[in-house]
Structure 1
């Protein structure tokens, strides 16, 4: 685990206990938009012709408490959550259990982007995927391009990569970046990229060999409650699939 990843692990370990309350509004919005975009993301679900009576296996990487996983659980057969934070994985598994989903939703602590391969149980669980998603975490990745490539390698042919993250906004002097750092002061040392444009995501997906690229800015901003302050950010969803 790199020093940068370790900084993220420590930050999210500390955040896990209060995450649900602090980001309740944001989580509801992300869950709602994900379900609304379900057929935009993929045609393969357990209630569609493409996925009916078939296995539909999904990985949520850097899953946190599993907002996307819990919202899509009714439409897949198996979900694996992976995070570098022990405490976030505990939240993920507790949420799955409280929703009666423990039979098909399970989380593991692991770093799939490290040089060393994960334990065989985790490696097997994270193979032959129909979908991999990263929600509000790609901006925390030290090397987003490498991350997309390695996650894509775990997809079946036709499998989808689905990303939710912050839209990049900056003038020529980078003023928006400085504002972003100020707003996320406590997390600034864990943030590598201050949002992604449509062209940024197109490049990341194409660099991983993905096709069928789509990118959409969500109409409703995401509200964050940080240190007794609230502010909003514009968020996008993007998808592409393995050829």
Structure 2
């Protein structure tokens, strides 16, 4: 059953889908650079590495949005599955995949892994045994981030890696919601948590069964958002752990 919170997210991202790139161009650019620069830190198993030689490497991006992060990693894996709850975001994902000429190796599918334990549409074997599962700047939108990570952990193969990119917590002396509304407007109503600390992430990784070799790194390049002519920055982290 989809919750009200999930539905609020679905509607908000349906609306944002068409203007996502123009609205978040700098953010997308930074995130693409991050995943390309950090991929060898995240995992040693890629099509261009010794550990990946001769392997069929499969990746899953949950809350894939328009697919920019999936596309940034697509050259280094054999197959990418993008999952999202927003139909419009998935249309954008599929469009960008077609434009990049990657329709043979990338698919987008609608699925809610936060509210549902195992949706029927993604219960087949092709949606399990991934080498890499990743969530980029979306965990803070999940009503139950811990549950999402547990469900995603189940889709990894033994030895597979989970990568999360999200915001570090900010200290606004108990006024996070008001501060965030000032910066992000109504989108703040789609956020369940304003950032995750190292210890929170460590616990969530362990509870999801992907705590082997857990690491959490705060990144030097912030994400730069622009709203109503004003810019503001968010410091982000990248985390990884194995099953």
Shorter-normalised TM-score: what interval?
over 0.9
CA-to-aligned-CA distance 1:87-108 (integer Å, 9 cap, x gap): 1001111111111111101111
Are 1:39 and 2:40 counterparts?
yes
> Post-superposition shift, 1:120?
4.4
Partner of residue 114, structure 2: 113
**Does the 8 Å contact 1:108/1:122 carry over to 2?**
no
RMSD: 1.4
> Post-superposition shift, 1:35?
0.6
CA separation of 1:12/1:122 partners in 2, compared to 1, >3 Å: closer, same or farther? farther
What TM-score comes out, normalization by structure 2 length? 0.95
The correspondence of residues 132-147 of structure 1 with structure 2, limited to 5 A, is 132-147=133-148
CA-to-aligned-CA distance 1:57-98 (integer Å, 9 cap, x gap): 000000101122110000000000000000100111111111
| Matches of 2:178 and 2:218, distance apart in 1 | 22
The correspondence of residues 41-80 of structure 1 with structure 2, limited to 5 A, is 41-80=42-81
CA-to-aligned-CA distance 1:176-205 (integer Å, 9 cap, x gap): 453223212221111000001111111110
Matched pairs, number: 241
| Matches of 2:31 and 2:161, distance apart in 1 | 18
Structure 1 runs not aligned, ≥5 long: none
Q: Secondary structure at the match of 1:111?
A: coil
> Post-superposition shift, 1:122?
5.8
> Post-superposition shift, 1:34?
0.5
Structure 2 runs not aligned, ≥5 long: none
Partner of residue 84, structure 1: 85
| Matches of 2:198 and 2:79, distance apart in 1 | 30
Q: Secondary structure at the match of 1:39?
A: helix
What TM-score comes out, normalization by structure 1 length? 0.95
